[in-house]
Amino acid sequence: MNLPQRLAAEALGTAFLLAAIVGSGIMGERLAGGNAALALLCNTFPTGAMLFVLIQLFAPVSGAHFNPIVTLALCLRRTLPWRALAPYVAAQVAGAVLGALLAHAMFELPLLQWSTTARGGYGQWLAESVAAFGLILVVLGSGRTTVAAAVGLYITAAYWFTASTSFANPAVTIARSLSDTFAGIAPANVPAFVAAQIAGALIALAAAHRLWPVSD
């Protein structure tokens, strides 16, 4: 596939992922009647299911990263050329923002919003590092036929065992700062989350180098 096709796949896939995350959060919160656990459950399963579908659909086109730290890890792993990093990340962030806006439009909410949901502190940052660490290990350690299911199931689980509910994705984090809904994160908390995600990814990359070394 040529680069424009791959970038289109990354943008479209990330947009659908954010529409699922933000949209299911809105729907879940509306239907849960104030029960936060039920709302989170309603947010969890659509996200995991959508990841499985999107990876299955777009992996043959772009690799189905939908996540800047996945793209960074694959560049550092030398399975993706460095010249693809900036275009991939730009497509992912743009798609993520469009997906959040689409979710707002579907639920007849203001398109442009700033989240007021504070997500900060040591526990949240550690949780994001753990979430990103696990995600990169799953991506690098899974085979082509199993990666979609593995990623979908990992994120489904990580929603519940991490204190941050496992953003594990800088593009997702940025887009969710533009949604003052159940899935939102205050813009002031974004830099620390992204830094934690990158740190977790780099540690995972070092672990993967020991577990599954790449031949020169």
pLDDT digits (tens, 9 = 90+) for 2-11: 999 999 999 9
Domain membership flag for residue 69: yes
Ranges of the chain whose pLDDT falls below 50? none
CATH number at residue 110: 1.20.1080.10
pLDDT at position 216: 56
Domain membership flag for residue 136: yes
Domain membership flag for residue 216: no
Say if CB 194 and CB 125 are below 8 A apart: no
Q: How many domains does one find in the chain?
A: 1
Domain membership flag for residue 73: yes
pTM of the predicted model as reported, rounded to 2 decimal places: 0.95
φ, ψ of residue 60 to 5 degrees: the values are: -70, -20
pLDDT at position 200: 98
Nearest-angstrom CA–CA distance, 44 and 115:
20
- Domain around 167: 3-211
pLDDT at position 215: 66
